[in-house]
């Protein structure tokens, strides 16, 4: 028992040492201190738990779900909550709990894919526009404005009409209409940063614009973008759900939560659990991302940085 | 245990001091523990210019704020004595403190940008400063405001009164601050680095205004600064602070005979135009200074 | 080493243009420490930034600038960047908030593709008086004096011959200023550097420099050797006024202060 305490002291001491002895240690320390600040906020922790829960469920889906959630079992149609079917069954007899579990993978996929597209694109366009300024700024911002003006659902419809319905096309449509605000945020940060003395110092050292953008400007813009992303997650999930609801996103029998609501809505009055449970799942995950985003903003906000 | 009063006799101040501070402590709770910004500072102020000198972290600004009880919600201020003209500032209620602040003890801060309301004209703010403490008509307040701007040697008071703070340059902004702080005719002015952001010639001109006003009106001035040379030449007496404690109190004329090694160190490490020195002597900080008992005045 | 002839810097265009520097000429021979003294708005920092090539897109810079035989155009060559470095005024703003000391100091070495970067970093940090415990700290964990030392280390790692110093100690406490000034003096002697030091503080300039130019409203009012300054044989009234002001508060002297219009 005393050995365990010592180890904990060892790691903790390493994380709190006043003079880090390597770049890795320095970075871990910074992360740890931010983590402590985050940990002190119970609401943010709740958000983190929910999001972490989503990830865990998605990863462990094959072990958590008892069936594949896709095969119909017409003998067990529209069953209420029971010990065998925790969330009941839907109109094709599929276990709703299992479908929710498998659907978490899809939710995570949507969220991850959008993030992976939107963050780099927004960051790149925004920092270049803000830092370089002039004509480049003008052109990039007008492009941003054009994309900002697209209504999401109309674009999704257009994509579907052109490319056929499917989850990837829906995600693409969402990503294309979501990146603009991130570019604006990154641009605003880059505008403030570009007159800083450390940027001047980098120029004096001979750093080129690309090097300065990558090493000096983008790291500082990243936090605002990430905070905005987590706060946007809820909207992205809901939009994907909406597209699924309209039949534009995931196609049956894929257990996407929005599609589950859509396909189950005729049962709302008598077998309410069929559309409601996926609705609750969407609500909980969106809430989790919102709380996480709020907590991250409190921790990463440069104004509160020492 | 009687305090030594010979210093005050030499500066020619009136017998009863305007302000007495004895064993002042200011503490702040921070996530890393309690910060002891001021640890047992003592000073008295008569009708004179008293300088409080220290480097960053010495507690000089906190001392100034503590006198006006402006240290913020979370700070804990305690002292054996904190008396202004017979009024005990420690036990005074908020209403009494409010009537004293700005009216009888005023504060001039470093950057007028932070102390002036950006959306109100300068003249209006000076008038408000007057009317908050005295019942008077707008016309009377306006007349006094213009008179005040003239006395801080602003050449075109009408035009300046109509300007907004951002339209007014650094030196003039500070004169406006002084006018605003002087208009209720306080007994004491606490000036916290009032000229540090200004050019050196402008700095001295602004100080000469303060100097004249203080002597004409028989006021007391507490001048807080990091610039020992300036304080030594401008003030009558100097209080040197280090790590929250007062390490030395001396007449300004007598500063070259300073006894405390910190004061001597500070004086020595200043570069000067006249002396040609290879290396500047640097200050060897003795941890004992932070532990020494402060010297009462 | 440094040759500035008829330097003019204008910010903005046409009627709204601001003529920050007007027809400034001076020479700095190799190994000299040259001071630019003036109050705010005198243009001294602008001259330094024009030399460093930091004004390219912001202002119109005309005149002839030559450093170490290289005539300077709009941009700055790699060779220039290797030979001329700069230390900035604000210790809090001139270091990247998210970079460790190690990253900050090794960056110029990386840009100029030097070898044995790790050793160079350790060596230069030791030279400026920072021991290894500082190497992986972040800027916000250092004091003002320590940050300026990092700034100096960063400028020296690539072994320049000229260092431009923009009010390097103005933001520091007096005791820390003495340490940093001593450090700068020692480094100059050891590495035989040429300094151009900008400051509003006449005492600092006369301590650090051998020759100086007094600037006001964008022009050079007077050129002096430090000895001339000390003997108060400065001819221009403005220089005399600055000298008197540097000595502290003197009520009678202040009465005699003049306004010098541009």
Q: Which of C207, C225, C241, C256 to mutate to test the interface with B (most CBs of B within 10 A)?
A: C207
**pLDDT value at position A2?**
43
Q: Report pTM.
A: 0.84
CA distance A107 to chain C (A): 33
Q: Do C94 and A200 touch (CB under 8 A)?
A: yes
* Nearest chain A alpha carbon to C160: A205
Q: Does A204 touch chain C (CB under 8 A)?
A: yes
Average pLDDT over residues A64-77: 82
How much of chain B, in percent, has pLDDT values that exceed 90? Answer: 28
Instruction: Encode pLDDT of B34-55 as tens digits.
Output: 889 999 999 999 999 999 999 9
Whether B118 has a pLDDT exceeding 90, the answer reads no
Ordered DSSP codes for B184-222: T--SEEEEESTTTTS-HHHHHHHHHHHHHHHHHHT-EEE
Q: Write out chain C residues lying below 8 Å of A216, CB-based.
A: 96
- CA dist B119 to B116, B123, C3, Å? 9, 12, 48
**pLDDT value at position A8?**
54
Average pLDDT over residues B222-226: 93
CA distance C228 to chain A (A): 34
What is the pLDDT confidence band of residue B94, given thresholds at 50, 70 and 90? confident
Strands C59-67 and C70-71: antiparallel
* Nearest chain C alpha carbon to A205: C108
* Nearest chain C alpha carbon to B205: C254
Instruction: Encode pLDDT of B143-189 as tens digits.
Output: 999 998 888 888 889 999 998 888 887 788 888 888 888 888 899 99
> Which subunits sit against B, judged by 3+ Cβ pairs under 8 A?
C
Q: Which of B274, B276, B281, B284 to mutate to test the interface with C (most CBs of C within 10 A)?
A: B274
**pLDDT value at position A254?**
84
What is the pLDDT confidence band of residue B3, given thresholds at 50, 70 and 90? very low
Q: Which of A20, A30, A204 to mutate to test the interface with C (most CBs of C within 10 A)?
A: A204
ipTM above 0.95, yes or no: no
Q: Write out chain A residues lying below 8 Å of C53, CB-based.
A: 203-204
Q: Do B273 and C203 touch (CB under 8 A)?
A: yes
For each of chain C's 262 residues, which pLDDT tens digit applies? 899 999 999 998 878 888 899 999 999 999 999 999 998 888 999 999 999 999 877 888 999 999 988 888 888 888 899 999 999 998 888 999 889 999 999 999 999 999 999 999 999 999 999 988 888 888 888 888 999 999 999 999 999 999 999 999 988 888 899 999 999 999 999 999 999 999 999 999 999 999 999 999 999 999 989 888 888 776 788 898 898 888 888 888 888 888 887 7
Q: Do B200 and C248 touch (CB under 8 A)?
A: no
Q: Does C81 touch chain B (CB under 8 A)?
A: no
Ordered DSSP codes for C70-111: EEP-SS--HHHHHHEEEE-S-TTTSS-TTSBHHHHHHHHHHH
**pLDDT value at position C234?**
63
Whether A27 has a pLDDT exceeding 60, the answer reads yes
Strands B220-225 and B188-192: parallel
Decide if A242 contacts A282 (C-beta within 8 A): no
Instruction: Encode pLDDT of A148-190 as tens digits.
Output: 888 877 877 787 778 777 788 888 888 888 899 999 999 999 9
Ordered DSSP codes for chain A: -HHHHHHHHHHHHHHH-SS--SHHHHHHHHHHHHHHHHHT-HHHHHHHHHHHHHHHHHHTHHHH-SS-S-S--GGGTT--S-SSSTT-B-TT--BHHHHHHHHHHHHHHHHHHHHHHHHHHHHHHHHHHHHH-HHHHHHHHHHHHHHHHS-HHHHHHHHHHHH-S-HHHHHHHHHHHHHHHHHHHHHHHHHHHTTSHHHHHHHHHT--HHHHIIIIIHHHHHHHHHHHHHHHHHHHHHHHHHHHHTTSSSPTTS--HHHHHHHHGGGTTTSTHHHHHHHHHHHHHHHHHHHHHHHHHHHH-GGG--
Decide if B252 contacts B238 (C-beta within 8 A): yes
Average pLDDT over residues A268-286: 90
CA distance A201 to chain C (A): 7
**pLDDT value at position A123?**
94
What is the pLDDT confidence band of residue A301, given thresholds at 50, 70 and 90? low
* Nearest chain A alpha carbon to C95: A198
**List of residues 6+ apart from C235 with CB closer than 8 A:** C222
Secondary structure of A130-190 in the HEC alphabet? Answer: HHHCHHHHHHHHHHHHHHHHCCHHHHHHHHHHHHCCCHHHHHHHHHHHHHHHHHHHHHHHH
Q: Write out chain C residues lying below 8 Å of A221, CB-based.
A: none
Mapped onto helix, strand or coil, the DSSP state of residue C59 is strand
**List of residues 6+ apart from C66 with CB closer than 8 A:** C2, C3, C4, C5, C72
Number of H helices, E strands in chain B: 11, 11
What is the pLDDT confidence band of residue A1, given thresholds at 50, 70 and 90? very low
Instruction: Encode pLDDT of B262-278 as tens digits.
Output: 999 998 888 888 877 77
Q: How far apart are the first and last CA of chain A?
A: 37
Q: Write out chain A residues lying below 8 Å of C82, CB-based.
A: 206
How much of chain A, in percent, has pLDDT values that exceed 90? Answer: 28
Average pLDDT over residues A268-295: 89
């Amino acid at each position: 028992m005393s050995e365990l305490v010592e180890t904990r002291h060892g790691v903790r001491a390493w994380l709190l040492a006043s003079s880090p002895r390597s770049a890795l240690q320095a970075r871990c320390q910074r992360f740890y201190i931010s983590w402590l600040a985050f940990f002190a906020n119970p609401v943010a922790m709740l958000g983190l738990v929910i999001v972490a829960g989503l990830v865990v469920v998605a990863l462990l889906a094959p072990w958590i779900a008892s069936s594949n959630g896709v095969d119909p079992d017409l003998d067990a149609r529209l069953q209420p909550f029971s010990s065998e079917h925790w969330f009941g069954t839907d109109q094709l007899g599929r276990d709703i709990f299992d479908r929710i579990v498998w659907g978490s993978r899809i939710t995570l996929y949507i969220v991850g894919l959008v993030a992976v597209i939107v963050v780099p694109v927004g960051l790149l366009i925004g920092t270049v526009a803000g830092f370089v300024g002039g004509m480049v700024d003008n052109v990039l911002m007008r492009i941003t404005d054009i994309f900002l003006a697209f209504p999401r659902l109309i674009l999704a419809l257009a994509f579907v009409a052109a490319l056929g319905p499917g989850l990837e096309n829906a995600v693409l449509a969402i990503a294309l209409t979501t990146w603009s605000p991130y570019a604006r945020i990154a641009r605003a940060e880059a505008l403030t940063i570009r007159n800083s003395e450390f940027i001047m110092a980098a120029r004096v050292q001979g750093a080129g614009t690309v090097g300065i953008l990558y090493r000096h400007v983008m790291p500082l813009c990243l936090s605002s973008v990430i905070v905005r992303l987590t706060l946007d997650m809820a909207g992205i999930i809901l939009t994907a759900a909406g597209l699924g609801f309209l039949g534009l996103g995931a196609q049956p029998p894929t257990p996407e939560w929005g599609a589950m609501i859509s396909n189950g809505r005729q049962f709302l009055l008598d077998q309410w659990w069929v559309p409601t449970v996926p609705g609750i799942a969407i609500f909980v995950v969106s809430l989790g991302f919102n709380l996480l985003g709020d907590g991250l903003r409190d921790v990463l906000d440069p104004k509160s940085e020492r | 245990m009687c305090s030594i009063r010979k210093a005050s006799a030499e500066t020619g101040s009136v017998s009863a001091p305007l302000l007495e501070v004895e064993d002042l402590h200011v503490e702040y709770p921070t996530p890393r523990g309690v910060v002891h910004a001021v640890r047992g500072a003592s000073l008295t102020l008569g009708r004179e210019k008293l300088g409080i000198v220290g480097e960053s972290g010495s507690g000089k600004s906190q001392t100034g704020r503590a006198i006006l009880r402006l240290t913020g919600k979370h700070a804990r201020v305690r002292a054996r004595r904190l008396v202004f003209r017979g009024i005990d500032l420690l036990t005074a209620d908020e209403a009494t403190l409010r009537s004293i602040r700005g009216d009888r003890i005023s504060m001039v801060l470093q950057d007028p940008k932070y102390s002036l309301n950006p959306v109100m004209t300068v003249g209006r703010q000076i008038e408000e400063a007057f009317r908050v403490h005295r019942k008077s008509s707008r016309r009377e307040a306006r007349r006094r405001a213009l008179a005040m701007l003239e006395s801080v040697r602003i050449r075109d008071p009408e035009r300046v009164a109509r300007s907004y703070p951002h339209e007014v340059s650094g030196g003039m902004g500070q004169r406006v601050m002084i006018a605003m702080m002087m208009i209720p005719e306080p007994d004491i002015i606490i000036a916290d680095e009032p000229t540090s952001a200004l050019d050196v010639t402008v700095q001295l001109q602004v100080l000469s205004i303060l100097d004249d006003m203080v002597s004409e009106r028989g006021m007391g001035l507490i001048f807080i600064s990091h610039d020992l040379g300036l304080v030594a030449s401008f003030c009558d007496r100097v209080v040197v602070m280090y790590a929250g404690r007062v390490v030395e109190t001396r007449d300004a004329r007598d500063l070259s005979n300073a006894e405390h090694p910190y004061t001597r160190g500070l004086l020595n490490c200043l570069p000067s135009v006249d002396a040609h020195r290879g290396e500047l002597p640097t200050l060897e900080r003795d941890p004992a200074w932070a532990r020494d008992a402060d010297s009462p005045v | 080493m440094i040759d500035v002839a008829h330097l003019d810097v204008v910010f903005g265009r046409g009627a709204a243009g601001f003529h920050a520097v007007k027809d400034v000429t001076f020479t700095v021979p190799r190994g000299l420490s040259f001071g630019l003294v003036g109050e705010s708005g005198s243009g001294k920092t602008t001259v330094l930034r024009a030399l460093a090539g930091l004004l390219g897109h912001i202002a119109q810079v005309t005149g002839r600038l030559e450093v170490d035989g290289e005539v300077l155009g709009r941009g700055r060559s790699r060779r220039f960047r290797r030979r001329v470095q700069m230390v900035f005024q604000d210790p809090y703003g001139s270091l990247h908030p998210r970079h460790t000391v190690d990253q900050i100091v090794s960056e110029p070495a990386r840009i100029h593709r030097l070898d044995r970067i790790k050793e160079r970093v350790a060596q230069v940090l030791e030279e400026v008086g920072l021991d290894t415990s500082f190497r992986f700290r972040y800027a916000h964990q250092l004091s003002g004096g320590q940050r300026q030392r990092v700034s100096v280390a960063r400028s020296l790692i690539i072994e320049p011959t000229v260092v431009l110093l923009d009010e390097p100690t103005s933001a520091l406490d007096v005791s820390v200023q003495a340490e940093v000034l001593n450090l700068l003096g020692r480094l100059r002697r050891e590495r035989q550097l040429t300094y151009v030091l900008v400051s509003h503080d006449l005492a600092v300039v006369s301590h650090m420099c051998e020759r100086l130019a007094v600037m006001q409203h964008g022009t050079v009012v007077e050129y002096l050797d430090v000895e001339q300054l000390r003997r108060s044989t400065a001819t221009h009234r403005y220089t005399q006024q600055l000298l008197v002001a540097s000595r502290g508060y003197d009520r009678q002297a202040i009465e005699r202060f003049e306004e010098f219009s541009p």
